[in-house]
């Protein structure tokens, strides 16, 4: 029997923790590398062009509020600073062999330079959440109010 076949659940959990620790170390190293680089601000006009060229709109929407995941109005820590945004893109690229995912493409520096990532970040930061307050949508409030008695009556 192979070693992989005889791994216990405990061994698998420890392996998972090891992979997570490696990913965290990579993130810290990447943040240090990004912080050491020039802090040129991004150009949102160039960022818009790159956002479309790289197909970001396919998942995040044309304005950042209609996609999955949404970019506008989320308060995501990934969008807090250009450094965290670039580090997120690099961490995904560098950890992809360890933590495969099809939810978002990887962007190693060979596919998207740090300067271009900062341009995309600058464009994304121009997004404004324009969704109306749900309380201001009268038909929605009518529906919600109509089910409240049913919801209260259920166990």
Assigned domain for 3 exists: no
Domain of residue 66: give its range.
Answer: 9-153
pLDDT tens profile 58-117: 888 888 777 667 777 777 788 889 998 898 888 765 555 555 555 777 788 888 999 999
pLDDT at 48: 95
pLDDT at 1: 47
The residue among 137 and 21 whose pLDDT is bigger is 137
Q: What is the largest CA-CA distance in the chain?
A: 65
Nearest to 31 by CA among 68, 106, 82: 82
Assigned domain for 4 exists: no
> pLDDT band for position 36 (50/70/90)?
very low
The residue among 91 and 32 whose pLDDT is bigger is 91
Into how many domains does the chain fold? 1
How many angstroms separate the CA atoms of 51 and 65, rounded?
A: 14
Q: What is the CA radius of gyration of the chain?
A: 21
The residue among 86 and 128 whose pLDDT is bigger is 86
Assigned domain for 117 exists: yes
For 73, which DSSP code? T
Q: What is the pTM of this model?
A: 0.58
Residues present in the chain in total: 155
Helix, strand, or coil (residue 60) = helix
């Amino acid at each position: 029997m192979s070693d992989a076949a005889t791994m216990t659940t405990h061994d698998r959990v420890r392996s998972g923790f090891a992979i997570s620790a490696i990913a965290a170390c990579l993130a810290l190293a990447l943040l240090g590398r990004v912080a050491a680089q020039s802090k040129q601000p991004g150009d949102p006009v160039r960022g818009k062009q790159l956002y479309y060229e790289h197909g970001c709109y396919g998942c995040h929407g044309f304005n950042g509020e209609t996609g999955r995941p949404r970019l506008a109005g989320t308060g995501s820590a990934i969008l807090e600073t250009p450094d965290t945004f670039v580090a997120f893109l690099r961490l995904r690229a560098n950890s992809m062999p360890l933590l495969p995912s099809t939810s978002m493409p990887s962007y190693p520096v060979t596919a998207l330079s740090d300067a271009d990532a900062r341009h995309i970040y600058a464009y994304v930061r121009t997004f404004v959440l324009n969704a109306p307050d749900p309380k201001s949508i009268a038909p929605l409030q009518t529906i919600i109010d109509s089910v409240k008695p049913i919801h209260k009556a259920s166990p």
